[in-house]
Amino acid sequence: MKVVSKAALGLALAVSSVSMMAAFPAQAQKDKKEKEAKGPQLKLSKEFRAAMAPVDAAAKANNPAGVLTAAASLDAAATTPDEKYVLNQYRLDAGIKTKDPKAQAQALDGMLATGLVPAADAAKFQFYLGKFAYEANDFAKADTALTAAAAGGYNSTDLYLTQSQLYSKQNKAPQAMASLEKAIAAEKAAGKPVPDEWYKFGISQAYKSKDMAATARWSAMQLAANPTPENWRQALVLYRDGGNLGRKVELDLFRLMRATNSLAGERDYYDYAYVANQDGLPGEAKTAIDLLKAKGSVSNRSINELYTEVSGKVTADKSSLATEEKRAGSAPNGVLAAGTGNAYLGYGEYAKAVPLLQTALTKGGVDADEVNTRLGIALAMSGQKEEAKKVFASVKGARTGIAQFWLTWLNQGAAPAA
């Protein structure tokens, strides 16, 4: 995935360095103050000046290609740092004008090696040197130069993006993600929108490194910025496929996919219905398939068979809940209250689900993180968003990820889909 542009110095880079023309012509120098303002004054031998005459002539004739041709054979003639600096300044200027990355990289390398690049420009030169090296697949050189640029204070979005992609090429996912986060922070600080591709790149780095916690965190960052149904589906499917969530966590994931309108295709609806039925929730399983049927006719045999099965269970299941609700109040632990509350949640009867789930937590003997997840869902779906946020924030362990996704959705202030 391409997140950085090709390196292009532009004329600003050339004019910001020591003036390449001031040191070469054999004309009277300007006053000392002006010379000091421009930077170091370079001493050139008569032999070097003579050898450079064709280069200078091509430059004055505005023939940058001619400059590069003439300069190609003069590296041996430049025997001092001053002479090497001047030769490479001509090469840099011509490389910029001809858009020749190899010439520009060679010039930057040569100028930096002399130690004469002004301190104000050194980090910038290192950045462009690193970027050219990256684009030439010289990753070791790119890493060295970009690190030097950052150490020298050249902290820009482009630097962070280049480092991020460089680290990705080197299979250093943690460093790639860290640099990308710096780029995002810099872009936000500048008041600019962050491209969705950047978040996708971060997600891909986390997922490829099998860091599911980081995958969830990057997905949450993307969703906070761009909460589209497509992004929600990608985030939740990656989270589901990246680990063994178990049926009960997967059910709460499908519930969130429904709330975010990110169920897509027959397989999503079938899987949702299947998991709900396996969890003893025929009413919710039927609702999942009803949502699919509302989109058009369904010819899939497995879906229709499941629909027939769960539809035949709904009446008896729903009529038993009132009795189960009464029994839950006198039960020695919260298991029955948790199951009945979850069933009411599946039927969309949130006002009945909430107190039962709260009772389950009070009585104990249940998985508190599971019950709190479902209590948070019931509160969220009934419009009690602040209460839901507090409950989701208390969820720990293996359910932290799904609880954080629900929190992300709540923080967007979105209303649930049908």
CA–CA gap between residue 274 and residue 284 (Å, rounded): 10
- Same domain as 145, residue 278: no
Q: pLDDT (tens digit, 0 to 9) for every residue of the chain, 418 residues total?
A: 555 555 655 534 443 443 333 334 433 234 334 444 455 578 999 999 999 999 999 999 999 999 999 999 989 999 999 999 999 999 999 999 999 999 999 999 999 999 999 999 999 999 999 999 999 999 999 999 999 999 999 989 999 999 999 999 999 999 999 999 999 999 999 999 999 999 999 999 999 998 888 988 899 899 999 999 999 999 999 989 887 788 999 999 999 999 999 999 999 999 999 999 999 999 999 999 999 999 988 889 999 999 999 999 999 999 999 999 999 999 999 999 999 999 999 999 999 999 999 999 999 999 999 999 999 999 999 999 999 999 999 999 989 989 999 999 999 876 666 5
- Same domain as 399, residue 288: yes
Q: Where residue 132 sits, what CATH number does that domain have?
A: 1.25.40
Token pair 């969820």: residue:
395
333 C-beta neighbours (distance < 10 Å), count: 13
Inside any domain, residue 193:
no
Which tokens belong to 308?
């027939």
- Same domain as 258, residue 384: yes
- Same domain as 260, residue 128: no
Provide the Cα torsion 51, 57, 62, 64; round to 10°.
-20
- Same domain as 251, residue 146: no
Closest by CA to 399, choosing from 259, 287, 243, 285, is: 243
Among 102, 134, 154, the domain boundary falls at 154
Q: From the centroid of its chain, how far is CA 49? A: 52
Calculate the alpha carbon distances from 321 to 59, 77, 148, 317, 407 in Å: 90, 94, 68, 7, 29
Contact between 69 and 100 (Cβ < 8 Å): no
Inside any domain, residue 340:
yes
Closest by CA to 263, choosing from 281, 285, 237, is: 237
Inside any domain, residue 102:
yes
Inside any domain, residue 171:
no
- pTM comes to 0.77
Inside any domain, residue 219:
no
Q: Which domain holds residue 369?
A: 245-411
- Same domain as 138, residue 267: no
Contact between 327 and 294 (Cβ < 8 Å): no
Closest by CA to 397, choosing from 210, 246, 194, is: 246
Q: What is the DSSP letter of 398?
A: G
- Same domain as 266, residue 142: no
Token pair 């204070």: residue:
153
Inside any domain, residue 214:
no
Among 138, 154, 170, the domain boundary falls at 154
CA–CA gap between residue 259 and residue 402 (Å, rounded): 13
- Same domain as 370, residue 267: yes
Instruction: Count up the domains in the chain and report the number.
Output: 2
- Same domain as 255, residue 146: no
CA–CA gap between residue 155 and residue 132 (Å, rounded): 17
- Same domain as 402, residue 300: yes
Alpha helices in 265-300 (DSSP H): 265-278, 282-293
- Same domain as 385, residue 249: yes
Output the furthest CA–CA distance in the chain (Å, rounded). 106
- Same domain as 387, residue 285: yes
Inside any domain, residue 70:
yes
Which tokens belong to 254?
């499908």
Among 154, 186, 217, the domain boundary falls at 154
Inside any domain, residue 212:
no
Which tokens belong to 295?
């989109």
Amino acid at 288: A
Phi then psi for residue 378, to 5 deg, are -60, -40
